[in-house]
Amino acid sequence: MEHDTEFDTTLASFDDDTGVGHVTLNRPDSLNALNTQLREDLVGSLEWLESKNDEADGIALRAVIVEGAGGTFCAGADVTEFSDSSPGAQSGQSHYEFIAAFPAPVIAKVRGYCLGGGLETALACDFRFAHEESSFGFPEVNLGLLPGAGGVQYLAELADPSTAKELAMTGEHISAEHAAEIGLANRVYGDDLDEETQAFAEQLASQPPLAIQSIKESAAISTQTGLEEGRAYDGRLFRSLLETDDHEEGARAFAEDEYEPEFKGR
């Protein structure tokens, strides 16, 4: 069954048959530029989706797709309210941090422009699935700025520091194909973008959610620790997953050919 709700500048929906939630940035007249309201509504939408976990038996929300209305993902920070909505001016957890720490994987489905804070939003997501005609860039340099939410850092991790500098120093837009070559876009599709992104989200949603959460946590930790510490961390995650019902369920499905596992997030 589909549930949906509307915020001032976002739309959110959740299908409890698939476990997949959707959030749409909904300021198409401004190319979904991030103003204060949109940043708040994005977090509000994710919180609303998260509340579906509490209502459900076990974990019902298992993957989220974030996209933009009107054929564009997001043209970055809203330059008309730039001074008070810049990341440095925010107090508390930003929408970037909220997405990065979200307990289910988040996929950015990118059409049109994915620029500046829009690109940083996509980088905060776990995956970026791009339309072949979309474009990516950090135009902040043209305003005498740098991407203020760690965009250069994230891109340096995903691609390499030199590529991150190239994008941020030139402000140039790159194609989806180029974005895939440098590891920024996970996958590039044509007209089948919606279908393929949905299929991927449903694939993630069918996996044991606690294992998926632990993998997300492990990947986040990997950028902050050395290998030894990271390996020890994964060992602790592994041992706690061994205690879960979902592990038992997976082991049973492995042993019994006909048995279809049903993971509960416990």
Contacts with ligand COA, residue ranges (CB under 6 A): 30-31, 33, 75-80, 113, 115-116, 139-140, 143
Angle between helices 227-242 and 245-255 (to 10 degrees): 80
C-alpha to C-alpha distance for 156 and 28, rounded to whole angstroms: 30
State the virtual CA torsion across 156, 194, 39, 166 in degrees, nearest 10: 20
- Least Å from the CB of residue 139 to ligand COA: 4
Q: Which is nearer to ligand COA, 27 or 52 (CB)?
A: 27
- Cα separation, 210 vs 200, in Å, equals 18
Q: Which is nearer to ligand COA, 30 or 170 (CB)?
A: 30
CB of 73 to ligand COA, least distance (A): 11
In the bound state with ligand COA, the residue whose beta carbon lies nearer, of 139 and 208, is: 139
C-beta separation of 265 from 209 below 8 A: yes
Q: How far is the CB of 28 from ligand COA (least distance, A)?
A: 9
Q: Is 195 a catalytic residue?
A: no
Task: Pick between residue 72 and residue 214 the one whose CB is nearest to ligand COA.
Answer: 72
Which element (helix H / strand E) includes 101?
Answer: none
Q: Which of 2, 140, 249, 258 is catalytic?
A: 140
Residue 81 pairs in a beta bridge with none
* Minimum distance from residue 115 beta carbon to ligand COA (Å): 5
| CA 233/CA 70 separation, integer angstroms | 42
Active site residue 248: no
Annotated catalytic sites, by residue? 120, 140
